[in-house]
Structure 1
Amino acid sequence: MQIKGIKKGRTIEIFEDIDIPDGQEISLSIEAGGGFWQRLQHFRQELESEEIWIEPDVFDGVRDSSPGREVTL
């Protein structure tokens, strides 16, 4: 489940109703902005901490190596 809300002091106000009883303990994963580079670094840290390794040959042939179209100005 993915929900959105806004932090106000020590409270997080949720924008929509969720089907969880009052008093139910929940766990949150917080994603706060950041650009591509910060998110990439976070992703790499998660892989490293979980000892996940992606073999380089997984990406062989994924990118088109042709020079592409000619651009005229």
Structure 2
Amino acid sequence: MTAFTIREVPDDIASRLKIRAAEAGQSLQTYLLALVTREATRPTLAEIAQRAEQYAVSEVDNDDVLALIDEGRAAR
């Protein structure tokens, strides 16, 4: 496992993080690991756009739209 060091963290930011960790009932290390993990696993806007492009249909006509509407109504 890799260890990170963050230098020159302003005192007010470090204090806020320590308070938030304490309020969450966690050590600062556990709190920061969860924070970094959440950020690293959340897809970026570029990744979301790329996924959307994979599923996008380039040509849709009226018949396609009407068929999907009918399919949705039949599923009710």
> Is the TM value for this pair above 0.5?
no
Structure holding more strand per residue? 1
Structure holding more helix per residue? 2
The TM-score normalised by the length of structure 2 is 0.24
Q: Which has the higher contact order (CA 8 A, sep 6+)?
A: 1
The TM-score normalised by the length of structure 1 is 0.25
